[in-house]
Chain A
């Protein structure tokens, strides 16, 4: 039995790691060149969809490229990691973003190549006016499963907790559910929001809210909650202290070529990684 578990684990890490390495190796050489200049004289369209955490970086990168070259048009849609993976696999978009590594089954089914260009965390967030700033994992699980329903049970005000969550397609949700909730239940009365941006807005506007959002997205409008003593900041994610972390991936079907390849190279180049830092994520290079 141990043999099977061991080979299972090796196989799992194996496939994902190999695709990742293949992807990175593919670009290690070219990533050094002046990435934005490589778009000179080209024209065409790049279609991107998927993870909502990626959108600020995507938008800025697209803006840089489209300003430098007016013949290129880049369209960006959200939808969540699940959508990104499916759509790129089906050929509906050129780049599918995901906030979680595609599973082995997905990689095999679609023949995906993975490119990780940032590291991000998923932090618990509450309204800045909420006195509760620290929770244990057990408390978090109880809140989300509906066992704890009032902030006063946690040392806060006497008001009902409004739980916010994301839909099934969300990579942010998948990571949160797996690593922070340990795959626990999420109560069915939770409000649904459609993206990281929407989660941030919801929590910022509702004094009794609790939600989970990409660490890179967090700003003064929401308050990050310490989980088992560790606050979700970009530094704790970088140092590994905050364990609910994930990579931001851009996936392509097969080997990328043409504009798609250049775009991914751009993300991994110094200019692209600077955008990553600027938007609040941890760079990979």
Chain B
């Protein structure tokens, strides 16, 4: 290989890496430019606090922010115990053979598309919620969406929790065993404290994924534009709002305002990523 080939190869690799890194910035740039009319005048923050009523010239997305917050956090409330319990099971509280099967099952779950959760939610979950909770109206509400979403994000959280568990130095585990600890004691005194960063990472990742999901909220949360008052209320998330409004025209202020929504989501995601990387660095990774 000649020197020229060497240099070219290196340059090609560098350009690929730089271009890929630029991709994230490019997305941000487009969002900014397209949403500029509404953002430029410093209106962005007022948008955060106003309701959505295009007929009256109101393009705020407070209801959608509340909807995203409600559905995401509620889904983490459901998913956290499920995931932690599962990982504790895999970490020793359950028989090893079943743990292996469980691990495979969780991996399988990561492959279930979200549109399928939404689809099944409409036909299986929504009628159940509707009959169980009479004040839930159509059954398309925050509760239904959160339940489905928790199933979606659990595999993610389980995988990160498990990594946290696995990262506990095995010498501590052996030491605990040598001192006569049973699996419960080992779990509570050695593994859980050491796995804490992994657990926090898992929660953040799960929250990120819950906030970024579109289809489940779009299909089973009802999409009403009010600020939700209870978990049985119909609600709309930032993501499903983008999906709904972008099907409309693309010149109006209504459309431009969804770029503000997109920016909000982008920034939230970036913050989550930075937080996780900080945590990772604390643990000695980069």
Show the binding face of A for B, using Cβ within 8 Å. 78-80, 82-83, 85-87, 159-160, 162, 167-169, 188-194, 202, 205-206, 208-209
User: B224–A189 contact, CB under 8 A?
Assistant: yes
Could you tell me the distance between the alpha carbons of A169 and B53 in the complex, rounded to whole angstroms? 13
- What number of residue pairs across chains A and B have CB atoms under 8 A from each other? 68
Query: Does B236 reach chain A (CB closer than 8 Å)?
Result: yes
Could you tell me the distance between the alpha carbons of A167 and B134 in the complex, rounded to whole angstroms? 26
B54 to chain A, nearest CB (A): 5
Could you tell me the distance between the alpha carbons of A87 and B226 in the complex, rounded to whole angstroms? 29
Contacts of B127 in A (CB 8 A): 205
User: A86–B51 contact, CB under 8 A?
Assistant: no
Tell me which of B51, B63, B254 contacts A168 (CB under 8 A): B254
Residue in B53, B224, B245, B249 whose Cβ sees the most chain A Cβ within 10 Å: B249
Query: Does B285 reach chain A (CB closer than 8 Å)?
Result: no
Could you tell me the distance between the alpha carbons of A274 and B248 in the complex, rounded to whole angstroms? 31
Say what secondary structure dominates the interface of chain B.
Answer: loop
B30 to chain A, nearest CB (A): 18
User: B248–A80 contact, CB under 8 A?
Assistant: yes
A181 to chain B, nearest CB (A): 12
Could you tell me the distance between the alpha carbons of A194 and B250 in the complex, rounded to whole angstroms? 17
B90 to chain A, nearest CB (A): 39
Could you tell me the distance between the alpha carbons of A190 and B137 in the complex, rounded to whole angstroms? 10
Given A168-B54, A168-B248, A202-B138, does the pair A192, B130 have CB atoms closer than 8 Å? Answer: no
Query: Does B60 reach chain A (CB closer than 8 Å)?
Result: no
Could you tell me the distance between the alpha carbons of A205 and B139 in the complex, rounded to whole angstroms? 10
Show the binding face of B for A, using Cβ within 8 Å. 51, 53-55, 63, 127, 130, 134-135, 137-140, 222-226, 233-234, 236, 244-245, 247-251, 254
Contacts of A168 in B (CB 8 A): 54-55, 248, 254
User: A160–B248 contact, CB under 8 A?
Assistant: no
Given A160-B137, A168-B55, A192-B236, does the pair A86, B251 have CB atoms closer than 8 Å? Answer: yes
Residue in B135, B233, B244 whose Cβ sees the most chain A Cβ within 10 Å: B244
Given A162-B138, A168-B55, does the pair A188, B224 have CB atoms closer than 8 Å? Answer: yes
User: B249–A188 contact, CB under 8 A?
Assistant: no
User: B248–A79 contact, CB under 8 A?
Assistant: yes
Of chain B, the residue at the smallest CB distance from A195 is B247
